[in-house]
Amino acid sequence: MFCSTCGTKNRSEAKFCKDCGARLNISFKKVELKLPNWKPLLSNASNILNSGLVKLKWNLRISLIGGLVILLLVLSPFAHAHYRYTQARKQAEKFFSDGEYGQALERLGSINQARLLPSIKSRTNFQIELYSKVKDDDAVFASAKSEEAKGNLVKAKELLSQLSNATEYPKFADVLKELNTVSDRISGKQVAEAQQASESAAAKAEAERANRQRAEQAASKSAAEAAANQAAADAAQRQSAANAAAAEQEAQSKAQALRTAFRNEVVDAYNAFNQALSHYGSGIQYSNNGSSILALSKMSNAKALLNGAYTSINTIKTRYAGSGIPVTYLNAATNMISAINSLNYACDLVIQSEGTSLDLSSTINTNRNSAVNYFSEVKNFLDNS
């Protein structure tokens, strides 16, 4: 018997609890509750659940693998096309950097653009247009050097002048240098011809003077001889006058050709300066808009044109010294040099201040305005000459 108060087990015949002393007036019987055996049921349920999970895992794996295979099949042609494009572009750029412009253009043109992204297609077509332009410019440059080697200097200068604005051509600096060389050779040849014409006219004049002297000496021998000699002298004088007039006409023609050659060189420098002034203006706009890279590029293009013009025009006085060229022509060359130097210095100040906190705008504007004033003087000369 168990105590209902403290739960202590007592003898079945006892009336009071041996532990707490409470009265034992109620008897309890042990009741056993038999539960069903759940172990087989739980084991079967576990096996079924595990089998379902295994099948679910395999189905997920198969679906995932199948999806990846389909994705690879769909994307593989595009990935392969992009890989072939990347390889072809690298090869074309290598050809271009080596100066093999035809092979670079051919390699880009061989790219199959069917499976390329629109942005890559656009970039590729732009690059093809650029390579094609550079290839054509290179062919013109090669033709110009060939004509120069043959002695056809005028034709060579015409071809080189076609490239005077091809700033994207990698050999643009070589073009300007070659153009200056050809111009110098042409002007040197014209100066030599003018000097030769002047010497020829002087020789003819001396010969005519000697003829007149001999005629005068012959006239003094006798009256009869004097009359005959007078007639001969008159004829000789007329011939001398005709020869002198022809020589003078020839000298004037040579002098005019010399002035024309001088003026053409000033015109070349004038045009180069005008182009440089346009690049300078674009560079200032880019600088004001915060586009430093474009501003520096435009200033570099302006300086390349100015340096090329300066190289040719700076020696013009020395090359034409003693040729009888008028002072107004020499003054025009001096003004052209001053304009080039002022604008060149303004470009240097822009490049120096770009991307920094330096404020050189006042000095820049002063030099630019000075360059424009000198430029205006040169324009007045060209308009009136």
Q: Cα(168)–Cα(261) distance, rounded to whole angstroms?
A: 30
The packing angle between helices 172-219 and 153-161, to 10°, is 150
Q: Is 259 contained in some domain?
A: yes
Do 250 and 109 reside in the same domain of the chain? Answer: no
Residues 70 and 50 placed together within one structural domain of the fold: yes
In a domain, 158, yes or no: no
Q: Does any domain span residue 186?
A: yes
253 and 281 fall within a common domain: yes
The answer on pLDDT for 78 being more than 50 is yes
Tokens 């650029």 — which residue? Answer: 130
Do 379 and 312 share a domain, yes or no?
yes
Query: Does the residue 100 lie in any domain?
Result: yes
pLDDT in tens, 319-371: 887 888 999 999 999 999 999 999 999 999 999 998 788 889 999 999 999 99
121: in domain: yes
Q: Residue 142 and residue 230: Cα distance in Å, rounded?
A: 65
The verdict on 115 and 203 lying in the same domain is: no
Domain end among 118, 135, 152: 135
* Shared-domain flag, residues 96 and 216: no
> What's the pLDDT at 315?
87
Q: What is the pLDDT of residue 75?
A: 60
User: With contact defined as beta carbons under 8 Å apart, do 307 and 344 qualify?
Assistant: yes
Q: Could you read off the pLDDT of 167-206 as tens digits, one per residue?
A: 888 988 898 998 889 888 988 887 777 678 778 777 887 8
Count Cα atoms within 13 angstroms, Cβ side, for 384.
Answer: 9
Residue 277 domain-assigned?
yes
Shared domain for 180 and 62, answered yes or no, is: no
Asked if the structure places residue 150 within a domain, the reply is no
Each residue of 118-162: pLDDT tens digit?
Answer: 888 888 888 898 889 898 999 998 999 999 999 998 999 999 898
286 and 380 together in one domain: yes
The confidence score (pLDDT) of residue 84 equals 86
Whole-number pLDDT of residue 45: 67
Average pLDDT score, the chain = 85
Per the structure, the complete domain to which residue 277 belongs is given by 171-384
What DSSP string describes 310-349?
Answer: HHHHTTHHHHTTTTT--HHHHHHHHHHHHHHHHHHHHHHH
Residue type for 10, please? N
Residue with token string 């003819």 = 204
> In the chain, how many domains are there?
3
- Do 232 and 369 sit in the same domain of this protein? yes
- Residue 340 covered by a domain: yes
